[in-house]
Structure 1
Amino acid sequence: MYNILVVDDEPLICKGLCSLLSSSGLAISQLFTAHNGYEAMDYLRMEDIDLLVTDIQMGEMSGIELMHQAKMIKPWLQAIVISAHETFQYAQLAIRLGAKDYLIKPLNGDQFLDSVRNVLLSVNKLIPSQDETLAGFREQFRLEQPSAERDELLKKLTADPASADATAAALRSRFGTDLSGPYYSVFRVQLGSSSELLQYAALNIAMELLDQEWRPVAYYSGGDAVNVIIQWSDARYEENGTNKIHQLDMLGRSLHTNIANYLRLPCVVGISQILRGAAFIGELGQQAAKAIRWNEEHRELGVFYYGDFNYGRYAQDPTEEEMTAQNNMIVEKSKAYIDAHYAQKGLTLHEVAQKNHVSPNYLSYLFKKDTGHNLWEYVIKLRMEESRRLILNTDLRRYEIAERVGYESPEHFSKIFKKYFGVSPTELKK
């Protein structure tokens, strides 16, 4: 059974799509509707959503921004985008964020249901056993031994910054490997196996996931690890509205989820910072390897971003005591920021993370570990406690209270309130 979230700022469209879905015969458990991106984010944080169906133009938060935020929370979330505009740029952005379809209004009911059915079928695919997966790779690929010379050149690139430009040129001329950057980051995937076949399968998953958008260059880096170099052109790097740490976080968690689920293989992903120039690729590789080391202290976390550990503050690698003190400070500063801004419309985990100069993934982990509940549960707790106080002690109307605690609509506020307290605001007032 599936949970589907339909988001459109036109209530009649939400109603019509839900009516279509309800009578479709699909195995739908629950249908949720939201009329803007902020309402949708609450459902994504609180409910187990399998499929997001979203309009692309919706006031303050567009469907593109909603998809971006949603993928940060759940990199595996499936999405279908609907739009009144047959614009290539919108479609390109939607597909880049993983949309499975881009449908133009007015929607054809049969086409819409076919699209939903196809997406849900992919969600429902049984995860194969590792043997079945590897058999599939044997059938799909010829499994030629990757070029040892190419791997050696890539290892030289990471070990000898002085000859980086010449090595990159040799890779391009001999193997067609494009390393023109000029911005780079490195992902290191530490696999729980030294099997060459599993490493090859992991490389293929990485290449398919990252596709050509990031111009990935993947190679064996020795032992049970593989490295993936991703690149930005000047134009792509300067794109507005995209926080690069959040992008790296999303890619790292997607990589971890796909390898762990598809290969049934435990893995740890280390992510470097972003630097300009091929001469720094070696340093980036070292950063990614260094980030992975923190898995020894945090076994329950599988994705590590180098920038989260603030190495620059220490003359040598920070001790466990120093890191504990730093982590406590991050949580306390995050709680203080939330205490001051919980009533802000559109407050996100990513905003809180950015204020603390850490990745959303690491902040979520620290907050839950330190407080016992996730960050957004803390936001809702503050909002609900304040709204309860206002209901019992003031004569403010429902829409005024909703406004004061950060909700776009009184209807959505009432839904969250009843879910939290078990009674509606009106029932509590009585």
Structure 2
Amino acid sequence: MYRVILADDEPEICKGLRLKIAWERLGFEIVGEARNGKEALSAIASERPQLLLTDIRMPVMDGLELLQACKRLHPELRIVVLSGHDDFQYVQTALRCGARDYVLKPVVRRDLTELLETIRGELDAERENARAREAIGLQWRRRLPLLQEQYVLGRIYGGDETPGIAEREEARRLELAGFDGADGEGAALRFMGAEYRVPPGRLPAGKEDDERLALAFRLVCREVAAEARWSGRVTPFTDKAYPRFMFFAAAAEDEAGSEALLAELAAALLAAAEGSLRLAAVAGIGAACSPSAGSTALRRAYLSAVTALSRTPAGPASRIVRADDPEGRAARPSAGTETIEAIRRHIEDAYKDEISLAMMAERFHMNVTYLSELFKKQTGSTFSDYVAEVRLGRAELLLRDTAMRLADIAEWTGFSTASYLSAAFKKRYGLSPADYRARLRGDRP
């Protein structure tokens, strides 16, 4: 039923309208009457009708003033004007003010019935359109997390082109914080990974994990990220390469802001996992990068979160680790000149980037041959061997402590391909990466 209010200063007119028309059969119900425009406005505010039938000439506030007020306050309301033959100039003004139609007094049942049937058809169509829009909106909201996830993973694992207008517009359409370039110059994007840990006694004896816990953990992570304080600023997503982890992308105006945002989120996630699921949880916050960076920089920022997460100690203790925490860094040799020590620090900090002796010679304003001899003298190793040793050491740590894919470990540690890493690793450790992991798990002698 559509709701109707009658406004006329003559009660007999309203009574006649009630009796002349089969309102319910036409799909309407009269929910109120008013004797002037002021009373009508009050009734409209309280009853929220879809249709108003109003006289033009009324005390206190006439019909024209009422139409103007409704146009401003209730633009969706349909209004039919009741008028006498000598009110036609008023009627013209009323139509310009937004009246749907007019009916002459005395009201003819057939004329008003036909008009009401037309209006009901319009209201029915509007209702169906609204339902369709709501259904489309609901479908969109259901698909949005998956579309966001596909976009983020596409940017991480895609080509190395910086995002163009089309990519930024798509990010904006998907409501992806940080990927649409809206944060401006100097903005920083970070990734964070989260993993649950099962405390002793949480599961039946002999059972160490349960797939339902993984699903529940992901749902809790998404619920926390959807809270008002992070909604629109943090994007949760999953990666099939790391099925136990839940990931988040967050952008802010600067690096400090993005780190603080994810640190606050991490604390909330850990509390929610403990409070709702009785699980411990660990979080790894990655290094910052520019939201407009290409896929290589994004992927490294992403893998830094995976690496940070891998540095959390085993066991059911909640903890937050950042990519720039000093834990896990290999011990640096103490001997050496200031220049060689600086080069060694650079290698240990930037081992995943392209590093060459010529680059270091140019950076420190030295002859390449002299630097090569000095480096070997101070370290006992050639420059290329030292770089390879640092990279292999990082790869060994990741193979031992994480479930990272070999291709990701290769990229993260500066090897051009997984096969190149495998060959170098086997030469250094006597085992392939797969055999090394199997031995650590106890699968092989």
Larger Rg: 2
For normalisation by structure 1, the TM-score amounts to: 0.34
TM-score (norm 2): 0.33
